[in-house]
Amino acid sequence: MTDERVEVLTVGCAGYRLDVYVTGHLDLSRARVQALVAEGRVRVDGRVAKKSHRLETGQEIEVRVPSPEALDAQPENVPLDVLFEDSSLLVVNKPAGMVTHPAPGHPTGTLVNALLGHTDDLSGIGGKLRPGIVHRLDRYTSGLMVVAKSDRAHHALSEALQRREIKRLYITASWGHLSESPLEVTAPIGRDPVERQRMAVVEKGRYAVTRFRVVERWLGAELLRVALGTGRTHQIRVHLAHIGHPVVGDTVYGVGWERGMGGKARQWAKILSQRAERQFLHSWRLSFEHPLSGEVMRFEVPLPADLQTCAEWARNDDVS
């Protein structure tokens, strides 16, 4: 039987929803509390209750919280670019090509394997394969990530992420030229109804908003700064493809887009496409409040060498 801790609360004020009250009195996110309620792990006066149950003064709430699952991922001696570390968290610069956590086809060599090899203190709240992971980057996206080293930090950072208080800025290159700058794209994202491995803008998808600003205008593409208003899977790539300007080098959402260009731009785009060995997307700035001290933490990393080389070439319109 899974080990668990038992928390007992006595309701001091009537009228609160069960999930709201428990969230306010235990070090758990509301989503975590709702999951515990759905699993029958939360009882009011000895009876399983719904998350919307309205509490009365003097009622006793029993919450059974299972211990974090044992890790399946194994520690590995994989180099890490650590920008900051203390007892609560790490900030790392993930290289392109590194998968964030173990998955089918990628059981080793992931960021999680590297983190487990780097430190013994890592939050297990993320489960067997995602310890400490607060947010993720796609395999071929490089840049900044914050990782929790304690359950308290994991809870606080996850809550801050849901409240959109963790600011993540990206640099990307997209084909063609935006109709305006700055440009905000608001379009719901969900699973592609036909190709289930892809994401797409779909009517019943989750709310998603991305803000783009042109930094440099090239012959057949643009360098953009991107701010996430939400954090959906493949959000930047899906939104840019949706408006007809997919990410340069994106082999999922932008294959062959540059072939539609004419004149000098067509040859230029062909060469840039060959030079872009992966999707041109980099998380360059990350800022958040430290979960314990409240200090504002801000980190920046420049474009890695492969993307910087592409950008330097793209600034040159001469393809003769």
* Whole-number pLDDT of residue 105: 64
- Using 50, 70 and 90 to split pLDDT, how confident is the model at 155? confident
Catalytic residues: 138
Mean pLDDT of 145-169: 91
Most confident of the ranges 30-44, 115-129, 181-195, 212-226: 212-226
Residue 3 has pLDDT above 80, yes or no: no
Mean pLDDT of 136-156: 92
- Using 50, 70 and 90 to split pLDDT, how confident is the model at 287? very high
* Whole-number pLDDT of residue 69: 57
User: For residue 85, what are the CA distances in angstroms to 146, 149, 152?
Assistant: 10, 9, 16
Predicted confidence (pLDDT) per residue in 58-116, tens digit: 999 999 988 765 556 788 888 999 999 999 999 999 999 998 887 766 778 889 889 88
* Whole-number pLDDT of residue 144: 98
In this predicted model, which residue has the larger pLDDT, 191 or 283? 283
* Whole-number pLDDT of residue 14: 85
Residue 1 has pLDDT above 50, yes or no: no
Mean pLDDT of 209-235: 96
